[in-house]
Amino acid sequence: MRWVWDATRRFPKRPHYELSELNDECERVVRDFLVERHGTATYPCSTNDLTVLLEREAADLDLFADLSGEGTAVEGVTYFEPGKKPRVAISADLSNDPRRENRLRTTLTHEFGHVHFHNFLWTVEAPTLALFDDAPRVVQAKCNRDSILHAGAVDWMEWQAAYVCGAVLMPARAVRVLVPSSIVSRPESPDSSAGATLIAKVQARFLVSADAARVRLIKLGYLTPSQNEVPLLG
């Protein structure tokens, strides 16, 4: 990790992570957690495991929050306060609907990205609080359904949390096992027969949506991005 100027002006400087750093740290955290909890690291991580993983690092996790007042389509919020662990709220709309379990899983891991990779900033770098959404001492990272997987490159906090979401659910080394050598040497289009087959394999192996599997495979370089894919910035 290195410090770079924060173009959003939230902080004087912000952390820049190489993709390998994000992948390695996420895999280490998940592996160690699963080994401690179950004696072995196997995938997919259960939704309960993902919940406990987030609970361990947050001060509080509310899985049945009313986020209707937080803005359009907001499904998760992380509340930061200097000197304290973050609090996390997940929309009850996700927790109450078994059909939306994949969305719940991506929201849990997205918020984990904020908690694990961003909370230290409230100690190291004093934020420019006026650019956040709340009163002076409590600031929020609001995550709507569009930013969970597809955060824009302009907002580095959301982009990093979106990347972490994929790296926790689909660790890079575990994904690599599923990728044919032909695709490793020459990435496929997501719309090709081979690309669609790989997406389906990753989707089934890690209990994620087809969209989440596609995004992860593009970010790992196994599928070719479309013109409107979000660029990498770390």
74 has which bridge partners?
144
Angle at 113 between CA 107 and CA 118, to 5 degrees: 135
Alpha-carbon gap, residue 205 to 208, rounded angstroms: 8
* pLDDT under 50: residue ranges of the chain: 130, 135-136
Measured CA to CA in angstroms, residue 86 lies from 29, 129, 145, 220 at distances of 18, 16, 21, 29
In sequence order, what are the residues at sequence separation of 6 or more whose Cβ sits closer than 8 angstroms to the Cβ of residue 223?
A: 183, 187, 188, 189, 190, 195, 198, 199, 214, 217
Q: What is the dihedral of CA 153, 175, 97, 35, to 10 degrees?
A: -110
Q: What is the pTM of this model?
A: 0.90
The pLDDT, as a whole number, for residue 232 is 54
Angle at 144 between CA 175 and CA 133, to 5 degrees: 125
Alpha-carbon gap, residue 173 to 88, rounded angstroms: 29
3-state secondary structure of 53: helix
- DSSP character at residue 223: B
16 has which bridge partners?
2
